[in-house]
Chain A
Amino acid sequence: MKKSRVIQLLGLILIGVLVGLGYSQRATTDASESITAVGSTALQPLVEAAGEQYSSEHTGIFINVQGGGSGTGLSQIQSGAVAIGNSDVFAEEQSGINASKLKDHQVAVVGIAPIINKKTGVTNLTSQQLKAIFTGKVNNWQAVGGHNLPIVLINRAQGSGTRKTFESYALNGQKSADSQEQDSSGLARSIVASTPGAISYVAFSYLDTSVTALKVNGVRPTKANVKTNRWHIWSYEHLYTSLQPDPLTKKFINYILSAAVQEKLVKQLGYISVHDMHVQRSATGKITTVK
């Protein structure tokens, strides 16, 4: 009994000493700073990769990137809990957010394309047909020139950035019919690939040979067409900060906007650099040409 007490006591002292030792030996570089960016899962890989590059070039700086969705990102930056809120949508479009209190940094452009199962027999739709399909007026591929197959609509989750963009620019603001929903691009793609007659939409970076990317009004969903706005269905990726971001945040955002990230990472990840765009679009959808 007594012996075990002594051992217990010794153990406790040992742990105490080790903790103390660890604490006193911790890395105390003055430059050790960190910023946290939270939000859009679609934007997460880009910010994460940029953060890693930035940390490797500036020792002691740590960029903490988390997902959680655009809504989470915007509410976190609004409450001031994080330095950067990542979002797929304009803060103005998100209810419950006071956009005038936030500063918008557009860091990339993402194109969105309708995708369909390969065995539908359709490669091109007019925007009228697309609208008719997504609002539920047409429910067989035969009506738009395809095989005799019922149309299976796969929408993205309500409130998701991709769905907002698609409804605004592909359906001209009309709401799509109640249908199946999925909340991630990867899942939407694999469901379309395996379900006969399925149609959905994903960002360009998710396009692959397992599905057919549709042409709309004969325009192909390519980066070149997005740059000139011939392809209308695209959106910005935003980093939101407070109106007066701290110096480190400012530096990091400038880094993302620099050629080192825009020319390499942005392209590798399937986005379009904001510097390459020939047009600019405001939160209300107004298009202006950039010289």
Chain B
Amino acid sequence: MDKIRASLLKKSIASKIERRGKIISLTCLALIILVVFLIFYFVASRGLATFFQNHINFWQFLSGTQWNPGTTGTNGQPAVGALPMIVGSFLITILSALVATPFAIGTAVFMTEISPRRGAQILRPVTELLVGIPSVVYGFIGLQVVVPFVRNTFGGSGYGILSGTFVLFVMILPTVTSMSADALNAVPRYYREASLALGATRWQTIYKVVLRAAIPGMLTAIVFGMARAFGEALAVQMVIGNATLLPQNLVSPASTLTSILTMGIGNTVMGSLQNNALWSLAMILLLMSLVFNMVIRYIGRKGKLNNER
């Protein structure tokens, strides 16, 4: 028995190192997974308490439009309807991704295909710098510049989905741009050379070859951008108005899951219904980003297949 063990272990120094390396890197990954599960467990255990301890109907939670956990709503149950926030989060995320994507991809193409030199010298450093601006600062610029602009141009009080979209657009632009540029850079050079050799113009090469080869990478970039938009709290909270009402239009005050969560959590007591209801919002946030990720992954896989055929 010992002999076999010894001979197995003694194979070579390289294989020892190899095994050690594999174990080290696997441990690191396991650690991350552990953290994710801890957070999931933690959010779920608090978030589910609303339904199991406080006996709130789950569908009522999803479809209700009244949010005031401390009081009872019109139907005699505590008013914990999260629909306005869910709609708000969804709208603002999708809209800002819709606005940001063409700009981000256009800029990324410019950075990698049209003028790599200028891209590397000006655009890249600037975009990377912007990632470091705290969201509070974005929020304040939004408050000073975007809100009055929206108020004077589109009417209303200026607070609402539209202002939030503009602020998030600028916030996620750097992330999506630099990640899309990475994806484009990862497309092998010979793809471009082959296309150009066939007589295609630069635009044809970009449009028909490079962009298509980079689709999965760019989708990931958009997911990351949306994820940031989705989870963003402090900046959105300043410009969206935080009214727990279903948005009537793009300029009426609305709210997102994160804005209500951030505002309320300090004012509630651990274990009370008000607090649990906020954790349920966090849980919805997790579930929704799960769905998002899966959808985009599915699209990405499809795009890849079509591409290879």
Do A and B share a direct contact in the complex (Cβ within 8 angstroms)?
yes
Is B253 in contact with chain A by the CB < 8 A criterion? yes
Q: A96-B275, A194-B143 are in contact. Are A183 and B263 (CB under 8 A)?
A: yes
For the complex, give the distance between the alpha carbons of A187 and B274 in Å. 24
Residues of A within 8 A of B157 (CB): 150, 152, 180, 195, 197-198
B267 and A160: CB pair below 8 A?
A: yes
Cα distance A74–B270 when bound, in Å? 9
In the complex, what residue of chain B is closest to A96 when comparing beta carbons? Answer: B272
- Distance in angstroms from A139 CB to nearest chain B CB is 12
Q: Once the chains bind, are A175 and B71 in contact (CB under 8 Å)?
A: yes
Please tell me if B223 contacts chain A, counting CB pairs below 8 Å.
no
Per-residue B-contact encoding for A168-195, CB less than 8 Å = 1, 0 else: 0000000100111111000100110011
**Binding site secondary structure of chain A:** mixed
B-side contacts of A97, CB under 8 Å? 269
Closest to B245 in A: A178
Q: Which 7 A-B pairs have the closest CB atoms?
A: A69-B266, A96-B272, A159-B267, A96-B269, A183-B263, A180-B241, A157-B263
Once the chains are docked, how many angstroms separate the CA of A129 from the CA of B268? 30
A78: chain B residues at CB < 8 Å are 269
Task: Decide: B264 and A41 in contact? CB cutoff 8 A.
Answer: no
At the interface, yes or no: A70 with Cβ under 8 Å from chain B? Answer: yes
Contact mask for chain B residues 139-154; partner A; CB cutoff 8 A; 1 contact, 0 none: 0000110011001000
Verify B253–A180 contact, CB threshold 8 A: yes
Whole-angstrom CA separation of A275 from B58 in the bound complex: 50
A158 and B262 CA atoms in complex are apart in Å by 11
Is B243 interfacial (CB 8 A cutoff)? yes
- Whether B107 sits at the interface, judged by CB under 8 Å, is no
Residue pair A71, B266 in contact (C-beta under 8 Å): yes
Q: 28 A–B contact pairs at CB < 8 A?
A: A69-B266, A70-B267, A71-B266, A71-B275, A74-B269, A75-B270, A94-B269, A95-B70, A95-B272, A96-B272, A96-B274, A158-B69, A158-B274, A159-B267, A160-B267, A161-B267, A178-B68, A178-B244, A180-B159, A180-B241, A181-B242, A182-B242, A183-B262, A183-B264, A183-B266, A190-B143, A195-B151, A198-B157
A194 and B264 CA atoms in complex are apart in Å by: 24
Report A-chain residues with C-beta under 8 Å of the C-beta of B266: 41, 67-72, 183
Specify which chain A residues have a CB less than 8 angstroms from the CB of B69 in the assembled complex: 158
A95 to B245, CA, bound (A): 24
Residue of B nearest to A157 (CB): B263
B134 at the interface (CB under 8 A from A): no
Shortest distance from the beta carbon of B134 to any chain A beta carbon, whole Å: 15
User: Could you tell me the distance in whole angstroms from the C-beta of A181 to the nearest C-beta in chain B?
Assistant: 4
In A125-167, the 8 Å CB interface with B consists of 150, 152, 157-161
| Chain A interface residues (CB < 8 Å from chain B) | 41, 67-72, 74-75, 78-79, 94-97, 150, 152, 157-161, 175, 178-183, 187, 190-191, 194-195, 197-198
In the bound complex, residues from chain B placing their C-beta under 8 Å from that of A194 are: 143-144, 147-148
A96 & B244 in contact (Cβ 8 Å cutoff): no
Query: CB of B265 within 8 A of chain A?
Result: yes
Majority SS at the chain B contact face = mixed
Question: B271 on the interface (CB 8 Å rule)?
Answer: yes
User: Which residue from B144, B264, B271 sits with its C-beta under 8 Å from A158?
Assistant: B264
B70 and A158 contacting across the interface, CB-CB below 8 Å:
yes
Min Cβ gap B77→A in Å is 16
Q: B243 touches which one: A94, A178, A197 (CB < 8 A)? A: A178
What residues on B are CB-neighbors of A195 within 8 Å? Answer: 147, 151, 157-159
**New A-B contacts (13) at CB < 8 Å, excluding given A180-B243, A182-B237:** A69-B265, A69-B266, A74-B269, A75-B271, A95-B70, A96-B270, A96-B272, A152-B157, A159-B264, A178-B243, A181-B242, A191-B143, A195-B158
CB pair A157–B275 under 8 Å, yes or no, is: no
Q: How far is the CA of A74 from the CA of B268 in the complex (A)?
A: 9
> Which parts of B242-285 form the interface with A (CB within 8 Å)?
242-245, 253, 255, 262-275
Chain B residue with Cβ nearest A91: B269
| Cβ contacts under 8 Å, B218 to chain A | none
Tell me the bound Cα distance from A157 to B67 in angstroms.
12
Taken together as a complex, chains A and B put the C-alpha atoms of A59 and B241 apart, in Å, by 47
Complex contacts, A71 vs chain B, CB 8 Å: 265-269, 275
